[in-house]
């Protein structure tokens, strides 16, 4: 099988997370504007697998539209996301993974209808305690965590976001992008990690700069809370 040619990685950061069930490797960076985001993402996934020898590369499986993408071989999982020029990918071996990234200015979260579809009652109450100028990043933080989780589970947007809650770190710094990584394994609770780039607040009107490094905490910032 012919290997994909990986587009140049512009100011990309990578990380590795050891979990109870397996290992996860991720990459977040800015794509070349001349390259399609989906092309960059799949090339990065293949490059991560080959570079780190995660498993014998056999390509991607053919899946129906709107289905969770998967490898042709079993035992590993991957997830991709892109927004505003940023691309985020993760590869998990022995675990299921999901990622989501949202770039500023987070205008979609001004929609009251979207907030009604994505927040639990407790999260609505929590939003009221967030300073007005921090509410859009706060909502982006909640959304990326939830979408990463439903991508990891394979449910996608069929899952009702109003039926489960994620902590959103009320005092968290405001960055020009929000990125989340979710990890699901058989023998451990779901993990949600916020990938925090060193981008200063407040958010300027200019296009977002690429993060120079994106530290991933060794333990999840918060456990998933499931509503009955």
Position 2 in a domain: no
Q: pLDDT tier at 197 (50, 70, 90 boundaries)?
A: low
Q: How far is it, in rounded angstroms, from Cα 193 to Cα 148? A: 9
Taking alpha carbons only, the member of 161, 137, 152, 141 closest to residue 191 is 152
Q: How far is it, in rounded angstroms, from Cα 180 to Cα 158? A: 19
pLDDT in tens, 54-67: 999 999 999 998 88
Position 218 in a domain: no
Position 5 in a domain: no
Position 208 in a domain: no
CA distances to 33, 155, 172, 204, 214 from 28, in Å = 15, 23, 20, 21, 8
Mean pLDDT across the chain: 81
Position 111 in a domain: yes
> Which structural domain, as residue segments, surrounds residue 98?
10-203
Q: How far is it, in rounded angstroms, from Cα 182 to Cα 145? A: 7
Q: How far is it, in rounded angstroms, from Cα 88 to Cα 101? A: 7
CB 40 within 8 A of CB 101: no
Position 102 in a domain: yes
Residue 209 has pLDDT above 80, yes or no: no
Position 1 in a domain: no
Position 118 in a domain: yes
pLDDT in tens, 5-54: 333 445 678 899 998 889 999 999 888 888 999 999 999 999 999 999 99
Strand partners, 15: 26
**Number of separate domains in the chain:** 1
């Amino acid at each position: 099988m012919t290997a994909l040619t990986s587009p140049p990685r512009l100011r990309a950061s990578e990380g590795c997370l050891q979990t109870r069930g397996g290992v996860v490797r991720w990459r977040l960076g800015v794509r070349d504007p001349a390259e399609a985001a989906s092309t960059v993402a799949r090339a990065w996934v293949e490059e991560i697998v080959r570079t780190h020898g995660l498993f014998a590369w056999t390509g991607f499986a053919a899946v129906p539209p709107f289905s969770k993408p998967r490898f042709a071989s079993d035992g590993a999982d991957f997830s991709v996301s892109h927004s505003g020029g940023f691309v985020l990918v993760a590869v998990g071996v022995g675990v299921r993974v999901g990622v989501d990234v949202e770039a500023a200015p987070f205008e979609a979260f001004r929609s009251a209808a979207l907030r009604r579809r994505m927040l639990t009652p407790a999260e609505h109450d929590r939003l009221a305690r967030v300073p007005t100028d921090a509410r859009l990043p706060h909502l982006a933080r909640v959304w990326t965590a939830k979408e990463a989780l439903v991508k990891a589970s394979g449910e996608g947007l069929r899952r009702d976001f109003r039926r489960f809650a994620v902590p959103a770190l009320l005092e968290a710094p405001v960055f020009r992008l929000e990125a989340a990584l979710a990890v699901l394994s058989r023998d451990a609770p779901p993990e949600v990690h916020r990938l925090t780039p060193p981008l200063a607040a407040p958010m300027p009107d200019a296009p977002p700069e690429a993060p120079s490094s994106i530290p991933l905490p060794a333990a999840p910032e918060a456990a998933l809370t499931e509503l009955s």
